[in-house]
Structure 1
Amino acid sequence: MRSVNERLMDELIAHSLFSGRYSTGVARRMIKALNEFDAELTASLIVSLDDTSIDVNSFTARRLESLLSSVRSINKRAVDSAFSLLTEEMRAHALYEAGYYPSLFDALLPDVVLRKYPLMSITEEMLFSSVMSRPFQGKLLSEWADGLESDRMTRINNAVRNGYLNGDSAVEIGRKIRGHANQGYKDGVLQLSRANATTIAKTAISHLQATARDQFC
């Protein structure tokens, strides 16, 4: 008969594999939430830039700030939507993780051990609050959201500035930012921000799981 430690190791490996697949799914849903605003963002950008009175000599940082005000608003809504989804996913996963370790040890440990050493558990809300108040990779989740929003706008600003200096049209600049449909929009300047969002989502889920494990132990 296999020992408790061997069975525990098997369960933890299975849990790790499940967690990896789950975090990948969360990241994909988060990226989808971001992408849903891409068409609106690009259209607003093209309309804002399609101004014949703008040339290299009149193109200043202040003018760029003014031109992209509507784009900035859409970008904020996109990031807010993506992080709202991530937060909801984390709250739902907190319910699962809060019950996982107590259920696991309750199933594996002999009754005599459980009677002598009753299992302690935390609630979903306790776990979620702890996760949201603890930084991971040096930042709170809210700070990661602010950073992603700022990163996307910086990339947009730089693409617009370079586009004007190169004499690109508003449509060409828009395509450089969003990317091309025949490339799956993976050739635009926003692609790296999508990769960053994927990393944030996976790290956030991993942070939640580590917190659940630490608080149970």
Structure 2
Amino acid sequence: MIDPLLDQAIRHQVNMTQYGNFVLAKMIRILNLSDADLMAQLNEALADVDADSFKVQRLDKLLASVREVNTQAYAALYGGMTDELQAYVEYEGQFQYDLYRSVVPATFSIASVVPEQVYAAAMAQPMQGRLLKEWASNLGANRLQRIKDTIAVGYTQGKTTADIVREIRGTKALNYADGLLDTSRRQVDAVVRTALSHTAQITRTRFVKENEDILGDEMWVSTLDGKTSPECRARDHLLYTKVDHKPVGHSVPWRSGPGRLHWCCRSTSIALLKGQKSLYGSRAAAGGPVDANLSYADWLKQQSPEVQDQVLGKTRGDKYRAGGKDETMFTNDKGRMLTLKQMAEREGRALSQ
């Protein structure tokens, strides 16, 4: 049996990925709603332009209305993202409290975090070198610049306005996935997932600091599948001192920490109980130490069919249990989504077992 801290940490990361899918879908919906208006403004701006009359110097003036629509879209996206992060900070803080309440003797007191303080800290700390607000602003500026570049190059090459607009929007036959605007969606995907993991790790760090008297070293836990980065593989199950995160028994640096080490980092961390140096096989610590090389695949083997289906989906879950594994088995299924309410119900059941 897997140590409850490790078991719940992995379950939580699986659920968080599906919650990320839900948040991403909301953010993409915001962009989709703005696309029709943006394309209408673009068509109007370029209505009387052709390759012979086009001048790069006039482009900024021509695209003034397009710039306004684009700015409003990314402002709405940032607002929607911060709303989700505020709700998630509160959820993550409560999850950490409930998790350790379930494994720490009742005689010990556990402190919870103040969501408003953690959220402020998450917004004030750079995420991959910039604040979230700056990333949102830069995404909007980058999209506008790509539109301008496509127009300038298109007219220089003698393309028609219709050709240029189609290149920006994409074709209906391919659900517009072949258009320039789809690049923006992929970038939003990376920012959304990174913002969630960034916020989660800051919440965990604050929780550990609030409970320094009962918590000890922190263990790095990576999702070990085909998508895990070499940096996270190298750190899986390594120990670091709490709060200041100095390596314990090794020389691999913590750097920004799990969930913040790189874009879309899926690693997490577990704070061991004070004096504990390894994970054990039962809640009562009566079993032997869990193999330090326990992988995501090893964990999934020990889960119920219900949990396997939650992770993989029913079709792939059936295939997995039938022994039909392949290299894409553990990649993210973007079709599976969880709201915070659904995640709370699922994790509440798991903690009560």
TM-score by length of 2: 0.57
Per-residue deviation at 1:55?
4.1
Counterpart pick for 1:109 among 93, 104, 108: 104
Report if aligned partners of 1:28, 1:198 keep a CA contact under 8 Å in 2: no
Who is 2:173 aligned against?
182
Answer yes or no: is the 8 Å Cα contact 2:166–2:179 preserved in 1: yes
User: Does residue 1:51 correspond to 2:51, yes or no?
Assistant: no
* Map of 1:38 onto structure 2: 35
Richer in strand (by share): 2
Quick one: distance in 2 between partners of 1:59 and 1:71?
Answer: 17
Alignment of 1:110-149 (within 5 A): 110-112=105-107, 114=108, 118-149=109-140
Give, in whole Å, the separation in 1 of the partners of 2:101 and 2:15.
Answer: 20
1:22-45 deviation line (CA, Å, top 9, x unaligned): 112211211111111111111111
Contact kept? 1:34, 1:78, Cα under 8 Å? yes
1:9 is matched with which residue?
6
Question: Once the 2 structures are TM-superposed, how far is the Cα of residue 49 of structure 1 from its aligned partner?
Answer: 0.5
Q: 2:194 aligns with which of 174, 190, 203?
A: 203
Measure the CA separation in 2 of the matches of 1:111 and 1:142.
41
- The CA distance in 1 between the partners of 2:112 and 2:105, in whole Å, is 18
Q: Measure how far apart 1:105 and its partner are.
A: 0.8
What is the alpha-carbon distance in structure 2 between the residues aligned to residue 179 and residue 111 of structure 1?
59
Identity of aligned residues (%): 34
Is residue 2:90 matched to residue 1:95? yes
Secondary structure at the residue paired with 2:3? helix
Contact 2:51/2:160 (<8 A) preserved: no
Q: 1:168 Cα shift?
A: 2.5
The residue that corresponds to 1:26 in the other structure is 23
Q: What corresponds to 2:248 in structure 1?
A: none
Which piece of structure 1 moves more, 80-89 or 165-174?
A: 165-174
- Residue type at the aligned position of 2:153: N
**Alignment correspondent of 1:153:** 144
Report the equivalent of 1:80: 75
Partner SS for 1:37: helix
Report if aligned partners of 2:51, 2:159 keep a CA contact under 8 Å in 1.
no
In structure 1, the residue corresponding to 2:99 is in which secondary structure? helix
In 2: Cα distance, 1:42 partner to 1:111 partner = 60
In the alignment, residue 185 of structure 1 is paired with which amino acid?
Answer: Y
Counterpart residue type for residue 201 of structure 1: V
Gaps of 5+ in 2: 209-353
Aligned-partner Cα distance in 1 for 2:163–2:85:
38
Q: Distance in 1 between matches of 2:10 and 2:148?
A: 45
* Structure 1 spans left out of the alignment, 5+ residues: none
Q: Which amino acid aligns with 1:67?
A: L
Which deviations, in whole Å up to 9, do the C-alpha atoms of 1:87-146 show, x marking residues without a partner?
Answer: 11111111101211111111221123x1xxx21221111111111111110110111011
Provide the TM-score with structure 1 as the length reference: 0.91
Letter in 2 for 1:88: D
Higher helix share: 1
In 2, Cα distance between the equivalents of 1:178 and 1:6? 50
Query: In 1, distance between residues paired with 2:102 and 2:179?
Result: 50
Name segments (4+ residues, structure 1) moved above 4 Å.
none
Alpha-carbon contact 1:90-1:208 (below 8 Å) kept: yes
Rounded to whole Å, the distance in 2 between the matches of 1:126 and 1:64 is: 44
